[in-house]
Structure 1
Amino acid sequence: MRSFSTSSVTALAAALALSACASSAPPLASAGPLPGSSAPSTGAAAAASPQELVSRVDIPFEKFVLANGLTTIVHTDRKSPIVGVTIYYKVGSKNEPRGRTGFAHLYEHLFFGGSSNVPNFDIPLEAAGSTSTNGSTWYDRTNYVETVPTGALDLALFMESDRMGALLPAVTQDKLDKQRGVVQNEKRQGDNQPYGLAEYAVAEGLFPVGHPYRHSTIGSMADLNAASLGDVRKWFTDHYGPNNVVLALSGDIDAATARPLVEKWFGAIPKGPEVAPVAAGPVTLPASVSRDMTDQVPVLRLTRQWSAPGLNDPDAAPLRVGMHILGGLASSRLDNALVRGSQQAVSVSASAQVYEQVGVLEASMDVKPGVERTAAETALDKVIAEFLSAGPTPDEVRRAVVSTLSGEIGGLEQVGGFSGKGATLAEGQIYSGDPAHYKADLQAIAALTPEQIRSAMQKWMGRPVFKLAIVPGERTDSGNEMGGWGDEKEKAAPQPDARQKAPKLAPAPKRVAPPVAPVSELSFPAIERATLSNGIPVTLARRTAVPKLVLSIDFDAGYAADALDTPGTQGLMLGMLEEGTKTRNATQIAEEQERLGASIGTGATLDTSSVMLSALSANLAPSLDLMADLLLNPAFAEADFERARGQAQAELAQVESTPAALAGRTLGTELFGDHPYAQPSDGLGTKTALSALTPAALRAAHAKWLRPDLARITVVGDVTMAELKPLLEKALGSWKAPAAPRPAKLLDAATPKPSARIVLVDRPNSPQSVIFAGRVLPLTGRTAGQEPLTLANEVVGDGFLSRLNLDIREEKGWSYGVRTGVTQSTGPRALQVMAPVQADRTGDSVRAIMADMAAFPAKQPVSAEEYQRVTDGSIRGLPNQFETNGQVLAAITRNERLGRPDDYYVRLAATYRAIDAKRIGAAAGQYLQPSDLTWVIVGDRRIVEPQLKGLGLPVEVRQGPADSASPAPGEEAQGE
């Protein structure tokens, strides 16, 4: 998909920013040791120091510059026969003039529409085994990425150079109009989310009209409507010259090989004009400002924002880490005070979004229902003020730094993509003039002192603040009127006819695409197996690319287990494992992970409940000990339970106010009836069920389902079996199965007969409708020989080039993206269709989906192009699927759950080669037809219902879930 990035920091700093934006960790009884106990030994003495971690981060590179100014950076990484191709154009939304907001992003979409010698960028590359070609736009840059098999690098460079040098003759008014519709639906999709208009309000509050960072990257509807073909040409010629570009090649490539290829394809492109620098910087408000917005949200959200300096400023590092300590760490100040302490919040966060020339500091609090607003505001401001006054402790700084650097080391597994090594080098060059600037960033982070952080935060957060509150109620603002320059109501910018004719351009010189060289066969890591003394099987795939590993303990339980318990039991029980043990409370658990650079989490699917660990190899022993304590000795304390349940109830309210999540929950229940898979796939159960749960019920579920005879351990990373098994034996070997028989889920239970009908869930004021559809298939996950169905699904709906996406997004412009999927559950599989569409095209979209699916294969069998793409492309793309330890672990656990052999993926190429177009069509005819789909549509009934009358399907209208987590509009929340 072509999307604008939601992250604004450099690639190497992304781990910090993302964790700082995360929701709060589950609560605990107190921030100190449990009564009558002392803090347990953390093993922190064995942990690597920040300086040692920084010394392990190295991305060697070579750089050369062509005569036309194109800068190329090459990093060699031979672990897999793939090359990340990453191109950064130093132009973003901050370069847009008044009246043309959103244009940089709109142009990015057009960049995929074909050039003079490449009618379609996606088809040749995906057929060659590339990851999906993608791009993103942000304030400071536009980037384009793909990761290709080594043999397809020549093709990728040819295509990138053709759109850099020969794009405009192929850009037509029709293409512009279609992509305009796609982008406007992307805007609607974001605006349609709970709190979806807050980003606009923050920019309006922090920056004056005309400031380059004030208008949103997605822009305003009016400006998108006004974009003309002449604007496209001017944007291209003004900004897309090679002298404004950094090309990064990372992976199975070296500079000696790369340079002649880059010279061959890019050398003749003429230099473009120099892009004038943009004057922008942080803004100090003359006085603090407050703004309230009402929105269809489950709980009151209070936020505080300040503008800050850009990424090259010395204060950038202390501000990032300071905000991480304030509200990003699991043991953050805001968490400890407001979630675990006063219990006035259900979640909190703090982050520093750092752009090239400015930054935005934000702290937020989702207020617990029933808490009086004034008290919540006072509490939030008090925590911030106390932190600014005293600053962080040395231990907080160390924990924040080590956890951040551990994340950076893990990020080095990827050579390409939006946050891999190629992006890190390219951003260093484009923002700071040095590809190795990441080292200076990390060294600055590692050397931080509490006083540096306190000083920087006092300097920037001691200024007047912008306060935004998102208040539950009927939405009164419209995203259609937001995101633009800011003076539209006072003095509208002149808007020429967006469809005015532009002069015809001369054709570009003819060039021929190079062939794809032979692609290496997949080399899947060797699998080693062992068994612990208590019978738990252990699977290891050793990989040494980075000094880290991932480990998963998987139990045959999952959300389907709630069919034998109360709905929501499994999810809440797993979440409570991080709440505290018999010797550690949640703050101590969080702090210990941060000191070790480890991350322990829990999660589940319909079939499996999991406890997961990401750890530095050097700190594996203490990390395993900590994980074992969480798994074997959970406290399920009453006070912790009440807070955790309150958070789960708030999360459920958030899910039910999010259109896609609500549609997914509704569809699952409609498809599966009384089958165990009818449990909500988010694991949250229902409001009634959550209210009925008790700590005793969670203890019983823990004993019932998390037992060694239902467990498997899988490990991928830098450790040997000789090192691993003794550590696992020490941590888990004495764990014995209970005398009670193993529980059994009834996955062979009957499911309802498929029924063609529509369930319309009314969600007023929705600019988009979210369409979900599906049916249960007469297959299970263990049914062998379903690879033709996989390929058939790829043709119809799985991927950018699928028939549904090309029709409804690319041809009609009604959606930002449509897709289909076939679940990989152990029990009955289900076909699912997902399509967020503009509200006034809901009925037309349902009709088009049905027609496209019915045509395959009866009226439109698999074409030669589609067949080659989904077979050869899938085969060539296999190495791309297993670049990271997490990807390998997921493949191993999937094979074990579905009864596949260890070499399934090695043999998959031969399996695909044996499947002809006829078998793909037969699978589509048998499993992917629309005649008996159940449809769930979440949208505005007033707009949608009239559109459904001509579809020939019965329609049942339901009201959206009542918002029990927040007071009704007009009611004042009462204090406790």
Structure 2
Amino acid sequence: MPMRYAFSVLLASILALGGCGAPDDSRDGNGEHRALSVDKEAAASSRAAAERKEAYVEAPDIEIPFHREVLDNGLTVIVHEDHKAPVVAVNIWYKVGSKDEEPGKTGFAHLFEHLMFNGSENYPGEYFEPFQRSGATDMNGTTNNDRTNYFETVPRGAVDMALWMESDRMGHFQGAISQEKLDEQRGVVKNEKRQSENAPYGEAFETIARSTFPPHHPYSWTTIGSMEDLDNASLEDVKQWFADYYQPANAILVIAGDIKVDEAMAKARKYFADIPSTTVPRRLENWELPVQPDKREVLTDQVPQTRIYKVWNVPAVGSEEENALELMTSLLANRNNSLLYRRLVREEQVATGVSAYYYGRQLAGQLMIMVDVKPGVPVARVEKLLDEELREFANAGVSAAELRRIKQSEFAGLVKGLEKIGGFGGKSDILARSEFYYGDPGALVAGLEDYARVSALDVQKVAQRWLTPESYTLVIKPRAEYQAADEGADRSSLPPVDKTVELELPEQREFTLDNGLRVVLAERHDTPAVFMNLQFRSGAAADGDKPGLASLAARMLSEGAGKYDSLAFSSRQEELGASISADSGLDYNNITFSALTSQLEPSLELLAEVVQEPLFPEEDLARVKSNRIDAIAQEKAQPQGLALRELPPLLFGQGHPYGAPLTGSGTVEGIRAVTRDDLVKFHNTWLRPDNAVLTVVGDVTAEKLKAMLNDTLGGWKAPEGEVPQIDVAEVERPSQPRVYLLDRPGAKQSYILAGLVIPPWQPEGAEAFDAMASVIAGKFTSRVNMNLREDKHWSYGAQAVSLDTEAQRPYVLFAPVQTDKTAAAIKELLREYKEFLGDQPITEQELADYRDDEVLKQSARFQTKAQLLSSIAWQVEKGLPPEYIANYPQRVGALTRDDVMTAAREVLEPGQFTWVVVGDLDEIREEVEALDIGPVTVLPGES
């Protein structure tokens, strides 16, 4: 069979979207062979060719050149050169996932992924530590049904270190597996499972897997496994798992970035060639497609609204129908213009959201549709409408024009996303994924043309074949209450990291349009795309007595403008391959824009309509408001969402501009009160050229851009009068800690937040504050996270963040912990902060690690246009000169312990924390009160 391209795999990994295959034209909707005469066959072939041509969109000219070589020990090595930034991505895929487990021993693949971050025989320390001293980014590990991968992007000077570490845990890990480490990571994984199950709809996918695949099928259990199996995992079991699967002949290594092929291959041989391979267990590659489930289940959960899941078993990755299946999901859902969204959310208004995706795996695929039912609407009515639309779709098909729009939109997303070399969806990921699923690193890109040729008839055929009444339906309703060789790399010590960082940042050019709009441009011509950010002062701080107004105004900007209603606006973006969206923060609203260089001018014309002529249609406003209110209910159903809603008014006070929920959604009362006139007034008041700045990064010159912007945005004029000022009052911290409890009966975890109001951001001392924040609770290896996750394994992760506001900033510490450790966790958190400020200040080693990490991270910080745009927009927002970014490494490198501790003592005071704890009060209240850290109040929850 010729190699097929899974566009879904490629695009989903880049932009979390979908993609692709070419169907079998010899079958009808029921999969039966048709007996056609020669004449009829010729006529049918002619029609098919015409339809294919009508829906054809020229595939982008993309190349990811690579060198592929298999070492003598069986390791597949793939190298790709990309010299635009001084970074290198390392991505290693092991051909083992949860499908390789057996009943009674589920969760091994995922558990082992966790173990692999606990150090190796020659580096027994925490695996993240040398990377977080070396400026690593995009560092993680993941497990799914089919494979396990580990990846990191490092500065060019840290390549040897990264390859030494990856090879050490491949060839020198078994002796590092201890009972203590097994117990520790077993606890972490169990907390991850609790955290997942504690979320609304958290048991859906485990139920779906169990109900749609027969017993003993490798996909009938989820990757995380069962609590019982995790408890029963023995040290011998785990060591055997490593011996069986973690060997070179069962792995793919990709090295991509600022490195030559010869150099990369020499390093690969040095670090990996001496690792032996034994007999690799037979890899499961085929399994008969399970019969179509015809079953319905109903569960209850602490959710605010009913959710419907419909699932069909469909062909696996690599089938000839893959492309059409992926395109079908984009036609059905995931876009404002999609069939199901139009019918269920916009027209009938019986749902608040609908999504669909093709989940392609090695042994089988699944087609899944999810619908969030609007509260108060009968489920039966929604299911009836859903079934009607699916039948109509299968019978009537789709227009070639709509299919072209989707292809153009996704091709544009692909072009814009191919700037990253590492991490999820980077080029190293694409090469590894392509080799893993198709046996050819170039298969994904080479197959773009197959995707481009998929016709409307192809899509209709897969709809007729697979969207049958025989399916699995799950309805989740709200509860009533709611061995090492002598040769090879030196394993006695970790290779040193070259700490030389050489950045070549494009020059910033600034000009002013005829209407007074300030524009800052950084030219970058590596890919034919342009990214923009139009930022204007407003945000939640400008909401006044209608919390949620600014975010609602941002949302409504995509509901039509100028001559385009909402659906036409969405279609026009797809035709151009442009993206225009808006969001809202505490102090600013932003309109973000991206376009292909070839379509820049018409895309800017569309942007101009959004800026100058938003429609704010009454009918769409009513729908958006209703859906926003339902979304707020969803937030309240999630422990973290509930806590993030309750904390701000406790910190800043009711009615304060920063007292809005940190989720950004506003309040039910505020959303209900917003009228179209409010949106028009908000737009006229705040979205004006003298209150905005446009930052641009991309493939365009200043001269050309200025002319285009004057032509398209020239009619946008500032109204008379000054821009209103937003008064953000200063607040006092409480004199003692306060504890607020929110009840969530039956919760499997408690969600802990601790908030503190800290001074506004200032350039002076900013680096010292960041160093303090990182060491205490800002990164994986922080004191807080290592305590609660790695040492105690009470939590899947604990971290603190500070919001970047214009006035006083909220500093928020968050830690989801198992219920029976709630009070103990609060005690530990307090101890960590008090000790940091007391007799255990930042150490020289911690500071050195932070300095190295931050300085070396700059190598990857400006890899993509979007990253560069974000940094320049922030610099412009803060009124800083361009050299502020370039001089950052020098400022960090000059930090001293005294600098850091001065910043810590000026800002941190754990005795003034405001605590919010969401959990089962019957289980946690008495112990929390017994801590006696401050007055305890039980909150009724937001109405």
TM-score range, shorter chain: over 0.9
Query: Is 1:720 aligned to 2:701, yes or no?
Result: yes
2:73 to 60, 68, 72: 68
Distance 1:611 1:783, change over 3 A: same
Distance 1:15 1:906, change over 3 A: closer
The answer for the alignment partner of 1:511 in structure 2 is 492
Partners of 1:763 and 1:230 in 2: how far apart? 40
The answer for the alignment partner of 2:348 in structure 1 is 342
Query: Is 1:100 aligned to 2:105, yes or no?
Result: yes
Partners of 1:104 and 1:688 in 2: how far apart? 47
2:190 to 184, 189, 205: 184
Encode CA deviations 1:548-586: one digit per residue, 9 max, x unaligned: 121111111111111x35111111112111112342111
Q: How far off its partner does 1:284 sit?
A: 4.6
Q: Is the 8 A contact 1:308 1:359 kept in 2?
A: yes
Q: How far off its partner does 1:826 sit?
A: 1.4
Encode CA deviations 1:633-692: one digit per residue, 9 max, x unaligned: 122222121111111111111111111121112111111114311122333221122222
Q: How far off its partner does 1:370 sit?
A: 2.6
Q: Which moved more, 1:541-550 or 1:91-100?
A: 541-550
Distance 1:786 1:837, change over 3 A: same
1:231-310 to 2 correspondences below 5 Å: 231-278=237-284, 281=287, 283-285=289-291, 288-310=294-316
Encode CA deviations 1:509-528: one digit per residue, 9 max, x unaligned: 95322211242233332111
1:571 to 528, 544, 551: 551
Q: Is the 8 A contact 1:91 1:140 kept in 2?
A: yes
Encode CA deviations 1:810-837: one digit per residue, 9 max, x unaligned: 1110111111122221111222101111
Distance 1:889 1:934, change over 3 A: same
The answer for the alignment partner of 1:601 in structure 2 is 581
The answer for the alignment partner of 2:614 in structure 1 is 634
1:714-863 to 2 correspondences below 5 Å: 714-751=695-732, 753=734, 755-777=736-758, 779-782=759-762, 784-863=764-843
1:669 to 635, 639, 649: 649
The answer for the alignment partner of 1:893 in structure 2 is 873
Partners of 1:323 and 1:381 in 2: how far apart? 15
The answer for the alignment partner of 2:861 in structure 1 is 881
Structure 1 counterpart of 2:301, one-letter code: D
1:688 to 669, 684, 687: 669
Partners of 1:676 and 1:94 in 2: how far apart? 51
The answer for the alignment partner of 1:502 in structure 2 is none
2:687 to 696, 699, 706: 706
Partners of 2:667 and 2:748 in 1: how far apart? 27
Q: How far off its partner does 1:358 sit?
A: 1.5
The answer for the alignment partner of 1:87 in structure 2 is 92
Q: Moved runs in structure 1, 4+ residues, more than 6 A?
A: 48-52
Q: Secondary structure at the match of 1:713?
A: strand
Q: Secondary structure at the match of 2:17?
A: helix
1:360-379 to 2 correspondences below 5 Å: 360-379=366-385
Structure 2 counterpart of 1:742, one-letter code: V
Q: How far off its partner does 1:840 sit?
A: 1.1
Distance 1:282 1:525, change over 3 A: farther
Q: How far off its partner does 1:280 sit?
A: 5.0
Partners of 1:209 and 1:608 in 2: how far apart? 53
Query: Is 1:116 aligned to 2:116, yes or no?
Result: no
Structure 2 counterpart of 1:94, one-letter code: K
Q: How far off its partner does 1:52 sit?
A: 7.4
Q: Is the 8 A contact 2:297 2:473 kept in 1?
A: yes
Structure 2 counterpart of 1:929, one-letter code: E
Give the gaps of 5 or more residues in structure 2.
1-5, 20-52, 483-488
Partners of 1:474 and 1:815 in 2: how far apart? 29
Give the gaps of 5 or more residues in structure 1.
1-6, 21-47, 477-507, 963-976
1:316 to 297, 322, 330: 322
2:542 to 542, 561, 584: 561
Q: Is the 8 A contact 1:773 1:934 kept in 2?
A: yes
Q: Is the 8 A contact 2:94 2:250 kept in 1?
A: yes
Q: Which moved more, 1:912-921 or 1:81-90?
A: 912-921
Q: How far off its partner does 1:373 sit?
A: 2.1
Partners of 1:60 and 1:840 in 2: how far apart? 53
Q: Secondary structure at the match of 1:780?
A: coil
Q: How far off its partner does 1:740 sit?
A: 3.6
Partners of 1:95 and 1:685 in 2: how far apart? 46
Q: Is the 8 A contact 2:78 2:253 kept in 1?
A: yes
Q: Secondary structure at the match of 2:796?
A: coil
Partners of 1:424 and 1:202 in 2: how far apart? 28
The answer for the alignment partner of 1:541 in structure 2 is 522
Distance 1:742 1:55, change over 3 A: closer
Q: Which moved more, 1:827-836 or 1:79-88?
A: 827-836
1:930 to 897, 910, 917: 910
Q: How far off its partner does 1:853 sit?
A: 1.0
The answer for the alignment partner of 2:889 in structure 1 is 909
1:604-615 to 2 correspondences below 5 Å: 604-615=584-595
Q: Is the 8 A contact 1:68 1:242 kept in 2?
A: yes
Distance 1:548 1:751, change over 3 A: farther
Q: How far off its partner does 1:333 sit?
A: 0.3
Q: Which moved more, 1:367-376 or 1:48-57?
A: 48-57
Q: Is the 8 A contact 2:74 2:277 kept in 1?
A: yes
Give the alignment's Cα RMSD to 1 decimal: 2.1
The answer for the alignment partner of 1:418 in structure 2 is 424
Q: Is the 8 A contact 2:777 2:785 kept in 1?
A: yes
The answer for the alignment partner of 2:640 in structure 1 is 660
Partners of 2:238 and 2:526 in 1: how far apart? 43
Aligned residues between the structures? 896
The answer for the alignment partner of 1:54 in structure 2 is 59
Q: How far off its partner does 1:50 sit?
A: 9.3
Partners of 2:327 and 2:571 in 1: how far apart? 15
Distance 1:756 1:774, change over 3 A: same
Partners of 1:668 and 1:50 in 2: how far apart? 51
Q: How far off its partner does 1:541 sit?
A: 1.2
Structure 2 counterpart of 1:152, one-letter code: A
Q: How far off its partner does 1:463 sit?
A: 6.1
Q: How far off its partner does 1:897 sit?
A: 1.9
Distance 1:316 1:107, change over 3 A: same
Partners of 1:668 and 1:922 in 2: how far apart? 27
Distance 1:275 1:402, change over 3 A: farther
Encode CA deviations 1:291-340: one digit per residue, 9 max, x unaligned: 11111111111221101111111111110011111112321000111111
Q: How far off its partner does 1:151 sit?
A: 0.7
Encode CA deviations 1:604-647: one digit per residue, 9 max, x unaligned: 11111011112111111111111211221122222121111111
Query: Is 1:872 aligned to 2:877, yes or no?
Result: no
Q: Secondary structure at the match of 1:676?
A: coil
Q: Secondary structure at the match of 1:734?
A: coil
Partners of 1:590 and 1:205 in 2: how far apart? 37
The answer for the alignment partner of 1:918 in structure 2 is 898
Encode CA deviations 1:938-974: one digit per residue, 9 max, x unaligned: 1111112122022212111123445xxxxxxxxxxxx
Partners of 2:363 and 2:726 in 1: how far apart? 56
Q: Is the 8 A contact 1:12 1:438 kept in 2?
A: no
Q: How far off its partner does 1:11 sit?
A: 4.2
Q: Is the 8 A contact 1:284 1:463 kept in 2?
A: no
Q: Is the 8 A contact 1:50 1:402 kept in 2?
A: no
Q: Which moved more, 1:579-588 or 1:78-87?
A: 579-588
Partners of 2:14 and 2:494 in 1: how far apart? 38
